[in-house]
Amino acid sequence: MNELLAKYPTEIKAILAKYPPEFKRSSVMPLLHLAQGDPGYITPQAMQDIAEICGISITEVGSIVGFYTLYYDKPLGRYHIQVCTDMPCALRGADKFLKELCERLGVKVGEPTADGLFVIEEVMCLAACHRAPMFQVHGDGDLVYHEHQTVDTALAVLDALRQKAAVAEEGKA
Amino acid sequence: MSEYVLLRHRDIPDLDQLKVYLKNGGFDAWKKVVTSMEPMELIQLAKDSGLRGRGGAGFPTGMKWSFVPNNLWPHYVVANADESEPGTFKDREIMESNPFQFLEGLMIASYAVQAQNSYAYLRGEFWQIGLKLNQKIAELEEAGFLGDNLFDTKYSLRLHVHMGAGAYICGEETALLESIEGKLGQPRLRPPFPAVAGLYASPTVINNVETLTNLPPIVQNGATWFREHGTEKSPGVKVFSLSGCVNKPGNYELPLGTPFRKLIYELGGGIPEGRAIKAIMAAGASSALISATDAALDTPMDYESVANLGASLGSASVIVLDESVSMSWLAQKTTHFFKHESCGKCTPCREGTYWMAHILDRIEDGGASEKDVDLLFTVARQMQNKCLCALGEFSTMPVVSSLEKFRSDFLARVDGQTR
C-alpha cells in the first residue's frame, strides 16, 4: 500500500502529468516537497513510497534528500527560521542580527527552541540582498520571506507563528 | 505607458493581473509570432537585435537558438529562474511583479525552436513565486494563450514550473537539467551541449528569466528599436542589482554601458556615512574585485568594458565595498559560500574550496602567518581551469583578486594581530 498515493491522489497525478510518462523520475523533487509539507520532514515511509512511484531505489531518493538543503530527513523544529548571512546581507548587519536573535531566544544556531516549534538556521543567499537583514520561514508546507527585519520584528513573526500553531493544535484536538 | 522595458510594473499598477497586462499590449507579440512568423524569422530577429544572455555568460540568444538541430525531436526550452548568486535579485522582481512578460518571453522562445513543453526551473526558495506562476499559467490556458492548436494553428504549447530545493549549482545549466530529471544537481561533461542533447537527451535551449523578458518588446518593436539602447556589442537595457555598502540598494534598469559611477553615486545615493569606496564586485560573489579607482568608476557597464578591467559583468549584480570592509573577511565569506555550494563532483573544487575556507578561517582567527597567505594563493591558483563547470573557477576569483589587490588586508591579520 502506497500511503503517499492514498493521501494525495490528485496532487500526485498532477505532478506526474508535468513530465513525459517515460521519465517518472522527474517527479521525485515535487513529490518530496509534497511529502514534506506534513509532517515537516521526509519520513522513511515517504521515501519508500516516492521510490515506488518514480521507479527508483530508496537509496536514490535518499541521495536527493541529502543533496538539496530544503529537504529534511529528521523532525527538527516545525518552522525553520533561515537567516541569510552571505556577504551582501552581512554588509547590512545580518551576522549581528542572527547572533542577537539567537541570544533573545536563548538557543544556538541549529538547535530547536524548547517548545520544538523553531530552529534557527544560517543559510546561503536568498536573493534578497537589498532588503537585509532577512530570513525565510519554511514549515507547514509553505515558505515565506521576511525582509527589512530587526530582532524585534523577527520575534513578532515568531509570536504570530506560535499562535498559528496553537490554533492548529486546538483544531486537531 | 512606461519608460521601462523590463520593470514596467513600476509604472503600471497591477501589471501582474492578466487583464491589465492585456490592456498594455500583453500577448500581442505572442499572437504575432504564432500567427504570422516562421520560427527561422524569429531566430533571425533575435540575432539582429544582438540580445545577449542576461544570466551571466552574455552569449547571443539568437545564435543559441540556431544551434538546435531540426532532425532531432522533441525540443525543450527551460527558463533558468534559479537566481542564487549572492548579490543578484533581479529575476525575482521580474517574476513577482511582471510575471506575464516573462511567461510570454518563454512562450516566444518555445515557438522559436518549436518546443511543445517548456519548463521554468525556480529555486526552491521562490516558493511563493512558483505558486503564483502556476496560477498565471492556468489563466493563460483558460484564455487560450496556451494549449493545443493555438490561434487555430498547428502549434501547441504547455508550460510547467519545476521547483528546486536549495542548491546554487542548479543555476549551472547542465546541473539544472539533471535536477529536472530527478537527479543530483551535478554538471555534465560537455560536449554534447544542451542544444543537441539537453533535457531527456533532447535538444534544449536554456535562457535566463531576464533574457526571456526582453523578447515580447523585441518582437513588438523590432531589432533596430532594441539597439537604440546600450552599446554596439552589448545592446539593450539591463537590470542591475545594486547591494552592499550603498545608501539605496535595489534593482535599476539601465542601458548597458552606463558607468559604474552613475549607478553607485547618482542612483544608489553613494556610500553610507560618507565613507570612501574601496572596491566593486560586478558579478556578485563570483567576481574578481575591481579597485574603485576613478577610471574604474567611469567605466561603462557592458560586457567588453568590464572584461577589460580584468573582471566580468556576469548577471550585473554590483556589490559595493567601502573602506570599512576587510578583503580578508570578504574572501572568507565568499569562500564559505562556494564551499557549501560545491556539488562535490570535481576534486579541485570540492577539496580546494574546503582548504581555502580552512586557511581563511585561520587568517581571520588571527592564527596564521604570512606563509598561510601565500599558501592560500597557491591553492586558489591550482584550482583554476580544472573543473567541469565554472563554480570552482568562480570561487577563486574573489580570493585571487583580493590577494593581488589588497594583500595588506590579509597581512594585517597574520601573526596574532586582531581587528
**Model confidence over B172-211: pLDDT tens digits?**
999 999 999 999 999 999 999 999 999 999 999 999 999 9
Verify that B77 and B180 share a domain, yes or no.
yes
In a domain, A73, yes or no: no
Q: Do A69 and B181 make contact, defined as CB atoms within 8 angstroms?
A: no
The shortest CB-CB distance from B249 to any of A19, A30, A129 is to: A129
**Quick check: B80 and B171 in contact, CB under 8 A?**
yes
**Å from B223 to nearest chain A CA?**
31
Lookup result for grid cell 523590432? B222
Residues 227-286 of B with CB under 8 A from A: 241-245, 249-251, 285
Regarding whether B102 and B51 lie in a shared domain, the answer is: yes
Closest chain A C-alpha to B230 CA, distance in angstroms:
25
Q: Which of A19, A88, A131 sits opposite B319 (nearest CB)?
A: A88
Flag if B87 and A129 touch (Cβ within 8 Å).
Answer: yes
Query: Does the pLDDT value for residue B1 go beyond 60?
Result: no
Residue B303 lies in a domain: yes
Our CA-based measurement puts residue B177 at a distance from the nearest CA of chain A, in whole angstroms, of: 10
Residues in contact with A85: Cβ distance below 8 Å, sequence separation at least 6, in sequence order = A94, A95, A98, A122, A123
User: Is residue A133 one of the residues assigned to a domain?
Assistant: yes
Least confident segment among A1-5, A11-15, B257-261, B373-377: A1-5
* B232 within domain boundaries: no
Q: Let me know whether B116 and B254 are in one domain.
A: no
pLDDT at A157: 98
pLDDT reported for residue B131: 98
ipTM confidence score = 0.96
Is the same domain home to A62 and A141?
Answer: no
Indicate whether A85 and A63 sit together in one domain.
Answer: no
Residue A171: per-residue pLDDT: 81
Question: Among the three residues B322, B352, B383, which one is the final residue of a domain in this structure?
Answer: B322
Whole-number pLDDT of residue B229: 96
Between A71, A91, A123, which is nearest B165 by CB? A71
**Which residue segment(s) compose the domain that A47 sits in?**
3-67
**Confidence band, pLDDT 50/70/90 cuts, at residue B2:** confident
Residue for grid cell 561603462: B300
Interface contact B83-A127, CB threshold 8 A: yes
Residue B48 to chain A, least CA–CA distance (Å) = 32
List of chain A residues with pLDDT < 50: none
Are residue A83 and residue A63 in the same domain, yes or no? Answer: no
Buried/exposed code over B119-150 (b: 16+ C-beta within 10 A; e: otherwise): bbbbbbbbbebbebbbebbebbeeeebbeeeb
Residue-number span of the structural domain to which B379 is assigned = 327-411
- A85 and A61 housed in the same domain: no
What's the domain count of chain B? 3
Would an 8 Å CB–CB cutoff place A30 in contact with chain B?
yes
Average pLDDT, chain B: 96
Per-residue pLDDT band for B419 (boundaries 50, 70, 90) equals low
| CB contacts, 8 Å: B243 with chain A | 88, 91, 129-130
Asked if B85 and A32 come within 8 Å (Cβ–Cβ), the reply is: no
* pLDDT on residue A1: 76
A61 lies in the same domain as A86:
no
CB contact under 8 Å between A127 and B89, yes or no, is yes
- Reference B114, options B154, B81, B172; nearest CA is B154
- Partner-chain contact B125 A33, CB within 8 Å: no
Interface membership of B125 toward A (CB under 8 Å): yes
- Window 90-109 of B, Cβ < 8 Å to A: 91-92
- B277 with B293, same domain: the answer is yes
> How far apart are the C-alpha atoms of A70 and B369, rounded to whole Å?
39
The pLDDT score that the predictor gives to residue B8 is 98
Can you give the pLDDT at residue B397? 96
Could you tell me if A105 and A35 lie in one domain? Answer: no
Residue type, B19: K
Q: Rg of chain B over CA atoms, in angstroms?
A: 22
Give Rg (Cα) of chain A: 18
Contacts of B241 in chain A (CB under 8 A): 129-130
Contact assignment for A64 to B333 by CB distance below 8 Å: no
* A34, closest residue in chain B (CA to CA): B163
Task: Using pLDDT thresholds of 50, 70 and 90, give the confidence band for residue B418.
Answer: low
Q: Is B118 in CB contact (< 8 Å) with chain A?
A: no
The reply to whether B212 and B147 lie within a common domain is yes
Quick one: A51 and A120 in the same domain? no
User: Are B184 and B157 a contacting pair, CB within 8 Å?
Assistant: no
Pinpoint the alpha helices (H) of chain A. Answer: 3-7, 9-17, 28-37, 44-54, 58-67, 87-90, 94-105, 151-172
Contact flag B182-A27 (C-beta cutoff 8 Å): yes
CATH number for the domain including B277?
A: 3.10.20.600
* The pLDDT of residue B104 is above 80: yes
Residue A49 and residue A88 share a domain: no
Q: Could you tell me the CATH number of the domain that includes residue B335?
A: 1.20.1440.230
Chain B interface includes A125 (CB < 8 A): yes
Residues B373 and B256 sit within 8 Å (Cβ to Cβ): no
Listed residues A67, A95, A112: the one ending a domain: A67
In this structure, the answer to whether residues A93 and A154 fall within a common structural domain is yes
Do A95 and A24 belong to one domain? no
For B75-95, write each residue's pLDDT tens digit: 999 999 999 999 999 999 999
Cα–Cα distance for residue pair B324/B320, rounded to 1 Å: 11
Count of structural domains, chain A = 2
Cα–Cα distance, B215 to B188 (Å, whole number): 28
Per-residue pLDDT, A151: 98
**Boundary of a domain, candidates A32, A67, A102:** A67
Mutate to test the interface with A, among B159, B243, B342 (most CBs of A within 10 A): B243
Answer yes or no: is B1 within a domain: no
Looking at residue A87, what is its pLDDT?
96
Q: Which residues contact B262 (CB under 8 A, 6 or more apart)?
A: B254
Is A74 within the bounds of a domain? Answer: no
| Cβ-based contacts of A25 with chain B (< 8 Å) | 181-183
Helix (H) or strand (E) holding B338: helix B327-341
Q: Name the domain boundary from B207, B226, B245.
A: B226
**A89 and A166 housed in the same domain:** yes
B73 vs A: CB within 8 A:
no
Q: Which of B203, B226, B249 is the last residue of a domain?
A: B226
In 3D space, the residue among A2, A36, A30 whose CA is nearest the CA of residue A17 turns out to be: A30
Yes or no, beta carbons of A87 and B165 under 8 Å apart: no
- B201 and B84 in a common domain: yes
